Amino acid sequence: MTSTDKSTAASAADTSRHMALGLSEQNLKEMYHKLLLSRALDERTWMLQHQGKAPFVISCQGHEAAQVGSAYALRAGRDWLLPYYRDVGVVLTIGMTPRELMLASLARAADPSSGGRQMPGHFGHARLRIISGSSPVATQIPQACGVALASKIRHEDDVTVVYFGDGATSKGDFHEAMNFAGIHRLPVIFICENNGWAISVPQHKQMAIRDVADRAEGYGFPGVVVDGGDVLAVYQSTKQAAERARRGEGPTLIEAKVVRITPHSSDDDDRAYRDRAEVETWKVTKDPIIRFRKYLMDAGILTEEEDKRLHERVTSEVDDATDFAEKSPLPRPESALEHVFAE
Ligand SMILES: Cc1ncc(C[n+]2csc(CCOP(=O)(O)OP(=O)(O)O)c2C)c(N)n1
């Protein structure tokens, strides 16, 4: 199949959608917990940054459904992940803990991603097969093709999933990777979290098409547009893409349309280039967590009381992670050059 399949989310009003996907009520509650946890951890790191304790924040807010829904469709510790800097929800869903993420945000020696050397948001975890990225945008995309090629050569059925933003698709790395993956029918899923902005550059100034997914057709495999604020829709698309990859049919490009609720990062002031009123409206109309909460309530899966308890649980998990990381030692200054030069 080479034509672009622009599937859109099924009606959000249908409260039995999860059953058709084979998801239990317990599965949905786990997904909701990861959505809440991603948001709460993110909000806490902004506070720590304002207090001068965390150097930098680059936020997942507005992207959480795309992240949790896609990662939930994968096999933790088996499939290979190359996340990008916003993917708090991806790595939490695959199994990183709030403590591990907070160790990275506060640059502590025990940070599993890099021992406190990388900027926050450069997630890495050997056991969970999360491969840490480099800061230059899009470099993880061809690297993912290398990982997927290795799985193919070894006849392993692991899928490689690589994440990036819409701006990354303007880089040569993206196009070279897509071309290579198409030719070799690699077991790779390209997930673009399209929030319509690359820092201050709107989508229409970096591509002359409406849907990034259209780009897949030129490389000989399907591109799918999905409502990235709908956790079930993203789960479904990713599951289908993973099954396709495991059958040996090759790559899929999934474009999850999301909103970026925060400025690009803690170093950015988005009031200079976009309408804050629109962003404030999204917090009511497009927040993926509010949307999934409504689904759960409408389906009779979540009560107000349970929701309150889940929020309390998440707050205590984030408190615990913050205390743990604050008490954890910083890297030794004399270790700064370790892993930099061959020893
Ligand atoms: C090669 C390169 N150019 C510029 C930058 C600075 N930079 C960091 S993130 C970013 C925007 C990327 O936008 P997008 O891919 O849409 O992802 P988003 O941040 O919107 O999720 C830029 C330009 C960089 N890191 N690497």
- Condensed to tens digits (0 to 9), the pLDDT of residues 92-107 reads 999 999 999 999 999 9
Q: Is the CB of 86 under 6 A from ligand 1?
A: yes
- 27's tokens: 């599965």
Q: Which of 91, 100, 178 is nearest to 129 (CA)?
A: 91
Q: Is the CB of 191 under 6 A from ligand 1?
A: no
Give residue 12's pLDDT.
Answer: 47
Give residue 339's pLDDT.
Answer: 80
Question: Which of 137, 139, 273 gets mutated to test ligand 1 (max ligand atoms within 8 A of its CB)?
Answer: 137
Give residue 9's pLDDT.
Answer: 44
CA 220 vs. chain centroid, Å, equals: 25
For the chain, the average pLDDT equals 95
Helix (H, G, I), strand (E, B) or coil at 21: coil
- Condensed to tens digits (0 to 9), the pLDDT of residues 109-125 reads 999 999 998 889 999 99
Q: Is the CB of 116 under 6 A from ligand 1?
A: no
Q: Is the pLDDT of residue 271 over 90?
A: yes
**Distance from Cα 299 to the centre of ligand 1, integer Å:** 39
Q: Is the CB of 206 under 6 A from ligand 1?
A: no
- Condensed to tens digits (0 to 9), the pLDDT of residues 184-202 reads 999 999 999 999 999 999 9
pLDDT-derived band at 315, boundaries 50, 70, 90 = very high
Q: Is the pLDDT of residue 175 over 90?
A: yes
More confident site: 58 or 343: 58
Question: Which of 199, 207, 257 gets mutated to test ligand 1 (max ligand atoms within 8 A of its CB)?
Answer: 199
Give residue 112's pLDDT.
Answer: 94
pLDDT-derived band at 13, boundaries 50, 70, 90 = low
Q: Rounded to whole angstroms, how far apart are CA atoms 140 and 152? A: 18
Q: Rounded to whole angstroms, how far apart are CA atoms 171 and 193? A: 15
Which residue(s) pair with 161 in the sheet? 81, 189
Q: Rounded to whole angstroms, how far apart are CA atoms 163 and 132? A: 12
Nearest residue (CA) to ligand 1, atom 11: 198
Q: Is the pLDDT of residue 10 over 80?
A: no
**Distance from Cα 167 to the centre of ligand 1, integer Å:** 6
Q: Mean pLDDT throughout 312-332?
A: 98
Give residue 102's pLDDT.
Answer: 98
Q: What is the pTM of this model?
A: 0.95
Q: Is the CB of 199 under 6 A from ligand 1?
A: yes
Helix (H, G, I), strand (E, B) or coil at 162: strand
Q: Mean pLDDT throughout 229-245?
A: 98
- Condensed to tens digits (0 to 9), the pLDDT of residues 21-30 reads 999 999 999 9
Q: Which of 269, 325, 259, 283 is nearest to 48 (CA)?
A: 325
Q: Rounded to whole angstroms, how far apart are CA atoms 266 and 253? A: 29
CATH superfamily, domain at 27-328: Thiamin diphosphate (ThDP)-binding fold, Pyr/PP domains (3.40.50.970)
Task: Determine contact, residues 168/174, Cβ cutoff 8 Å.
Answer: yes
Fill in the DSSP letter of residue 125.
B
Q: Rounded to whole angstroms, how far apart are CA atoms 257 and 227? A: 5
Nearest-atom index, ligand 1, CA of 169 = 15
Question: Which DSSP string corresponds to 73-104?
Answer: TS-TTTSEEE--TT-HHHHHHHT--HHHHHHH
Question: Which DSSP string corresponds to 283-329?
Answer: HHHT-HHHHHHHHHHHTT---HHHHHHHHHHHHHHHHHHHHHHHHSP
Which residue(s) pair with 164 in the sheet? 192
**Distance from Cα 298 to the centre of ligand 1, integer Å:** 38
50 Cβ contact list (under 8 Å, min separation 6): none
Lay out the sheet containing 160-165: strands in order across: 80-82, 160-165, 188-194, 252-257, 223-227
Task: Determine contact, residues 215/253, Cβ cutoff 8 Å.
Answer: yes
Q: Is the CB of 165 under 6 A from ligand 1?
A: yes
**Distance from Cα 237 to the centre of ligand 1, integer Å:** 25
Of 9-18, 81-90, 134-143, 286-295, which gets the smallest average pLDDT? 9-18
Q: Is the pLDDT of residue 33 over 70?
A: yes
Q: Is the CB of 258 under 6 A from ligand 1?
A: no
Q: Mean pLDDT throughout 284-288?
A: 95
Q: Rounded to whole angstroms, how far apart are CA atoms 28 and 306? A: 13
Place of tokens 């795309």: 66
Residues with active-site annotation: 260, 264, 273
